[in-house]
A = this chain, B = another copy of it.
C-alpha cells in the first residue's frame, strides 16, 4: 500500500532520531512491499531560522494532506529569548491545534528488559508497570486567553463539556481494551474547570458500565504514581496535568528515551517520542532512537492500519534490548553501549 507521511525533524536531536525513523520506514517498505512518500516539513526552531515563523503555512498544508505526521522534537536555548507566540513551542502547539489532535496517548511502560532502569525499588514494581496516560491536548491553559500587563500576567484554564466528553470517551475506549480502569485526575476541590471535568467524566462513564472509574486530585495523583505505580491502568487528565504526570511517569519507568506518543483527533495523527530536543547531546550520535521508532509503531497501528508491521517493529526493539544493546540514557552494568545509528542498525536488522 501507499502512504504519504510528513516528517518534521525539528531541533536539537530531532534530525538524528528522525533519520533513524526514516530508515525504519524504508525497511518496512522493503520487507512488506509498501510505499511511503516521505515529505519533510519545517517546524519550531528550524522553521524560525529558515522561514521566520515557528509554524509556516506550508507545514500545516502538508501535514493536513498526509496520512500521518512523524515529529522529532522542538525547542532549545537558542530561541528562549523570543516572546511566546514566536517560540518553537508555539509551532508545536499550533500544529496540534491545526490537526485537531485532542487526544495525546502516552504509554508509560516498564519494559521487562529495562527493569533495572527504574529508580523505584523492585518491590513496588510488582509484576509490571503499564500505564496509559490520556492527556487532553488542544484545550485548557495551553490555549486559553493569556495576557501580560506591566505588573501582572495571566493565563486562563477553560474547558467546555464537548472537549471533556470526547477525551473522556477516548480514555474509556482505551480502558475497554486494557484492564478496564480509568483514573481521572483533576483538582475539583479548588478549580471550577475541574468540577465540570469530573461531572462530564461521570456522565461518559455511564456508557461504560464495565469500566471502574476512580477520581483523584492531582497532588495525590503525583504522589500515588511514585508510591503505587502498578495500581494505575488508564489515566485521564487535562493538558497541563497530563504534561506533568506523563513526564513524572516516564521517570518512574526510568526510560523516557524509549517512550512514544500518539496524538489523535478526527483527522491526521501526529506521532512523536515523549522526550524533548536535548540540545546538550545534539549531533553527538548519543540520542536514543527507540522513542521515535516506537512512535512509528503507534503510527502503523493507529493511522495506517498496518498492525502486523507495527507489531514487528515492537518485537524488533525488544529483541535488541534483550540482546543487551543500550544507548547511554538507559545503560546499565553488563550491557553493550551503542550510539543512535548503531541502535537503529540493530533494530532494522531484526525487522
CA distance A243 to B246 in the complex (A): 17
Q: Smallest distance from the beta carbon of A243 to chain B beta carbons, Å?
A: 5
CA distance A93 to B87 in the complex (A): 36
Given the complex, which residues of B lie within 8 Å of A192, measured CB to CB? 84, 146-148, 153-155
- Binary per-residue interface labels of chain A (225-245) against chain B in the complex, 1 for a CB within 8 Å, 0 otherwise: 111000000000000100111
Most buried by B among A75, A161, A191: A191
Closest residue of chain B to A93 (Cβ to Cβ) is B190
Task: Judge whether A223 is part of the interface by a CB distance below 8 angstroms.
Answer: yes
User: Would B250 and A223 count as touching, CB distance under 8 A?
Assistant: yes
Each complex incorporates copies of this chain amounting to 2
Task: Judge whether A222 is part of the interface by a CB distance below 8 angstroms.
Answer: yes
User: Would B156 and A154 count as touching, CB distance under 8 A?
Assistant: yes
CB-CB contacts below 8 Å: A126-153 with B:
141-142, 144, 146-148, 151-153
Closest residue of chain B to A125 (Cβ to Cβ) is B119
Most buried by B among A141, A162, A190: A190
Q: Which of B124, B141, B161 is within 8 Å of A157, CB to CB?
A: B141
Task: Judge whether A342 is part of the interface by a CB distance below 8 angstroms.
Answer: no
Q: Which of B119, B157, B222, B246 is within 8 Å of A248, CB to CB?
A: B222
Q: Smallest distance from the beta carbon of A291 to chain B beta carbons, Å?
A: 14
CA distance A243 to B87 in the complex (A): 28
Given the complex, which residues of B lie within 8 Å of A190, measured CB to CB? 84, 89, 93, 141-142
CA distance A144 to B191 in the complex (A): 10
Task: Judge whether A159 is part of the interface by a CB distance below 8 angstroms.
Answer: yes
User: Would A256 and B152 count as touching, CB distance under 8 A?
Assistant: no
Task: Judge whether A251 is part of the interface by a CB distance below 8 angstroms.
Answer: yes
Closest residue of chain B to A218 (Cβ to Cβ) is B244
Task: Judge whether A334 is part of the interface by a CB distance below 8 angstroms.
Answer: no
Task: Judge whether A341 is part of the interface by a CB distance below 8 angstroms.
Answer: no
